[in-house]
Amino acid sequence: MLRNKPVPKRRWLDLAPGDPVVVTAGKDKGKTGEVLRTIPDQHKIVVKGVNLLKRHTKAGSSRAGVSVAQGGVVDFEAPLDYSNVMLVCPSCSRPTRAKHTILESGARVIVCRHCDEPYERVKKTEAQ
């Protein structure tokens, strides 16, 4: 039994769903896409249209208690490691490593290293 087992650190991810990113490593290197979801616990990120895998399902088989009526090949996006993507700055449209800053108002923002423009997320308005 291993004592002092390292506890996975929950890192603050710079990226949030909806952010434009470019893939910097792997088979989809150079592709750009939109962040679909983040998995901070595993340090992974799912990008739209990137790292597509095919899942073969057999008709009538059941997965997690849900029976699949139609069989076939389903494309799905596999999670990428967070370090393999970079945020694309909307101001200078270059891939950037984000710099963290805390504004005078106390708000936590990320700043583009190239043009020093704070990256602002387009807030999705609820209840439309």
Q: Which residues bind Zn ion (CB under 5 A)?
A: 89, 91-92, 112, 114-115
Cβ proximity to Zn ion: between 39 and 115 the closer is 115
Residue 12 is given by DSSP the state -
Of 59, 115, 126, 60, whose CA–CA distance to 87 is shortest? 115
CB of 22 to Zn ion, least distance (A): 13
Cβ proximity to Zn ion: between 21 and 46 the closer is 21
Cβ proximity to Zn ion: between 31 and 114 the closer is 114
Q: How far is residue 38's CA from residue 28's CA, in Å, rounded to a whole number? A: 18
DSSP string, 34-48: EEEEEEGGGTEEEET
CB of 73 to Zn ion, least distance (A): 40
CB of 88 to Zn ion, least distance (A): 9
